[in-house]
A and B are shown apart, each in its own frame.
Chain A
Amino acid sequence: SQQGEEDPQALSIQEGENATMNCSYKTSINNLQWYRQNSGRGLVHLILIRSNEREKHSGRLRVTLDTSKKSSSLLITASRAADTASYFCATDAEGSYIPTFGRGTSLIVHP
């Protein structure tokens, strides 16, 4: 089974709204990463957050990590139609060097 699972599976919002997606995982991790995939640009790295970090920002993106709940959230503020894509979290469990990807959240941003 997947180490990380994103929720919701699909999200549909209007341009300008915020989008929040979550990732839950099963075992202790070293790092958690978020990636975006769309047909135009393929799979692109967004943010890496280490297990000893709680929050990171990158432009309109904010990632939080709660290791006690084994969960992470990705917030996209003021979304744009160009943010339409699938978003994946990837985790590597402690003692492992292999990243495990979730099934992804499909985000549609309507203009």
Chain B
Amino acid sequence: AQSVTQLDSQVPVFEEAPVELRCNYSSSVSVYLFWYVQYPNQGLQLLLKYLSGSTLVESINGFEAEFNKSQTSFHLRKPSVHISDTAEYFCAVSEYQGAQKLVFGQGTRLTINP
């Protein structure tokens, strides 16, 4: 069975500062990796995903994540954050076989201070 660990439950940063949200996973088989964002009182939105190929994946709003197989990590980064990035961020995995079953990490609350 797979599991996901998000190392920080809360990350406060100042606006326009860089940020990294850390995610490590454990699985005995090949996995797909995801970052989801949840704004207050809303459902989840897919931010970016790693399926195969290039280990660096990017979103349209400036986030990027890098898949590191040797360290079993998929950390999320943004070079300059905005107030609007305040949200809960969830790292998730699913196995190649049985890709319907998403397993989420505990979440990281990103708070942007002016």
Q: Do A and B bind each other?
A: no
Q: What residues make up the interface of B, taking CB atoms closer than 8 Å to A?
A: none
